[in-house]
Structure 1
């Protein structure tokens, strides 16, 4: 038993050991701390290695800095091999009870459990402690699967949790870390690299490539193949490669099936659809459905898929042809999602609008392009927005050094200024 407490001490704030808190991600910690002080379970979801662990540690440190005793915080990262003994909710419950027995915290206890989905039946412990009115607990958990709060679990925790989706570093965070000047040059550097936090600790391209590949392999193997007993692992990876190399393109499941059949691969609509669903669940890619602007409804069939981080494209599949415009579009999508918008591909008669973004009462229509280099490009981007006959905000986003004047109520925004505009 004492060995388990010794293991926990390595990763907690109780002793004198120095912990790595990483780059301060105020965008997330500020939102989370707004909800501190109640029994709501704080849930962080997002792709593996997107920085959830650091954010949890940063929140724990903020609590201690604000006066909470270190021994009143408990941090458990199930991804550490030291904690492989935590297999079921019973193991988790025993460890929490052991912590309380050994450290004897007085008052409210703040429990942080990282990658909790690995623990079988974890929701039983979370539900029990969050609703324990004989003692005071506040729980913060993280997971790497979007389905961890679906179905019966959502019913079990209904109304008692608040979730935060964590993305890799944004462009704003990128310049904060690198101390580069905000502008076109640094935006292109960010676009040609990626935002996975640990990339910034690696200097050589080959090390970065190996790191990104390892993340991809871990997600596909541990979070999909093992979890769902996937039989055709090669097909799963090939579908992921296809989605990465067709990001920002309008595609359908039928088109993907035809593509593989053209390659001599036998597959089915159901298999491809299921495997894409698994990939989406791990946050590696995001599906963006079409939205009928006039009919005000989503459309089935074709959709676009965006990569959760451009590092997969840049370091693993850079040999495939890929225009800068598609990279910009992918980053614009991610920025909108970070800002809390629900995002769709706009459909209006024979025109396509890159994005329809909705958040509460705010609606944005956006076109994105690499550069407004000539009159033909300008007309193409602006005419799609001009065809919309309502009065919601309309924006063209590009990497031009100069901002174009407002045209018919349509604003031109430089990509590196978008985060400020949409927040």
Structure 2
């Protein structure tokens, strides 16, 4: 491993070198740093390019500013071609040994491994280091595949890790990055672009479109097609396109099968279900199940799907009919998810409530609509919430210019102020 040590030095914080840190995402770093000093492995998960790498480097840099010696930090990003030699956990273990021999760090060693799922058998080494009582390590890892990470973590690190889902920029992060006021026009701009951190460093529409297309291709090819030996890559991509263009709509697997069959594409329920699951595993798309408010149980069958970021819609498939109300609903979903809620689509008799959001002992019913333009629209949005016979919070979220007075205990919230309400 001696010949690879220069690659390690290139990307670390040693010799006063500070790698690119990106926009500070304090809400995430504060949450993660609450667990610093524990033996728990800190696990960051989320879609590729959502900002996990920047966050790992921000945490490492914060440790240095608080007094940790830079040479006590070991950082690699398996996405960098300089680390292609790291194929198995044994290679990684050998590289860590080389690092320790050359730098001889004193005291605790902080290990950061980005996109760890690309190292075969990684879980064996992480498990070993987390339990090593002869030396002190604190571990931070990231990955872009929910099933693979959760499976190995549950098997090898049960009860000894804490997981953080990293989503693209929130509206408040977007306005901070772009130095904009948190007002309606800024939210419309946010809705019509995307929220992946590196998107804002690109100079024009074409470069952004190419960037988003490359992310989509990389995720589908490397994280799904190659990993699972997909036999019909075109079908996989077409399913993704279908989900993006039907975000915020109730759909079932049978709906999608019939859609493809009507367009001359033969597929089966099993194949489509499997491919859909693979897409969900990469965090590109999130499934939201229905919830029977009276029966207090989930309902099998049709679900809603939401895009992890509207950039896929805005830059890759803008020609399909897709109203602003659907985009708004997608963003409201992401804001609830970002705040840590478990989210369902509510059903009550023949009425639908956009979101039933649960976190600890708090439950919120949420209706999302573009604008409360007239009495008919107001009645349509408020009636499902008024039909719920309990005392949990009920809110209607919209892009109106001013908030309406409370009606039967139901609050009207302007969407750019939603974060203040849901916490």
The two structures have a TM-score, normalised by structure 2, of 0.99
* 1:201-212 equivalences in 2 (<5 Å): 201-212=201-212
Q: d(CA) in 2 for partners of 1:200 and 1:324?
A: 22
* 1:14-413 equivalences in 2 (<5 Å): 14-151=14-151, 153-413=153-413
Q: What is the CA-CA distance between 1:15 and the residue it aligns to?
A: 1.6
Cα offsets for 1:237-265 (capped at 9, x unmatched): 00000000000000000000000000000
Cα offsets for 1:94-122 (capped at 9, x unmatched): 01111111110010000000000000000
Q: What is the CA-CA distance between 1:152 and the residue it aligns to?
A: 5.2
Instruction: Report the secondary structure of 2:321's partner residue.
Output: coil
Instruction: Report the secondary structure of 1:168's partner residue.
Output: coil
Cα offsets for 1:198-239 (capped at 9, x unmatched): 110012101000000000000000000000000100000000
Instruction: Report the secondary structure of 2:370's partner residue.
Output: coil
Q: d(CA) in 2 for partners of 1:7 and 1:58?
A: 20
Q: What is the CA-CA distance between 1:17 and the residue it aligns to?
A: 2.9
Cα offsets for 1:132-168 (capped at 9, x unmatched): 0111000000000001333354122100000000001
Instruction: Report the secondary structure of 2:19's partner residue.
Output: coil
Match of residue 8 from structure 1: 8
Where has structure 1 moved over 2 Å in runs of 4 or more? 148-153
Q: What is the CA-CA distance between 1:414 and the residue it aligns to?
A: 0.4
Q: Is the 8 A contact 2:46 2:143 kept in 1?
A: yes
Instruction: Report the secondary structure of 2:76's partner residue.
Output: strand
Instruction: Report the secondary structure of 1:98's partner residue.
Output: helix
Instruction: Report the secondary structure of 1:15's partner residue.
Output: coil
Instruction: Report the secondary structure of 1:49's partner residue.
Output: coil
Q: d(CA) in 1 for partners of 2:201 and 2:4?
A: 30
Q: Once superposed, what is the RMSD of the aligned Cα atoms?
A: 0.8
Q: d(CA) in 1 for partners of 2:160 and 2:126?
A: 11
5+ residue gaps, structure 1, are none
Instruction: Report the secondary structure of 2:326's partner residue.
Output: helix
Q: d(CA) in 2 for partners of 1:420 and 1:11?
A: 38
The answer to which of 9-18 and 38-47 deviates more is 9-18
Q: d(CA) in 2 for partners of 1:178 and 1:134?
A: 47
The two structures have a TM-score, normalised by structure 1, of 0.99
Q: d(CA) in 2 for partners of 1:140 and 1:283?
A: 20
How many residue pairs end up in the alignment? Answer: 423
Q: d(CA) in 2 for partners of 1:98 and 1:199?
A: 36
Q: Is the 8 A contact 2:12 2:18 kept in 1?
A: no
Q: d(CA) in 1 for partners of 2:116 and 2:126?
A: 10
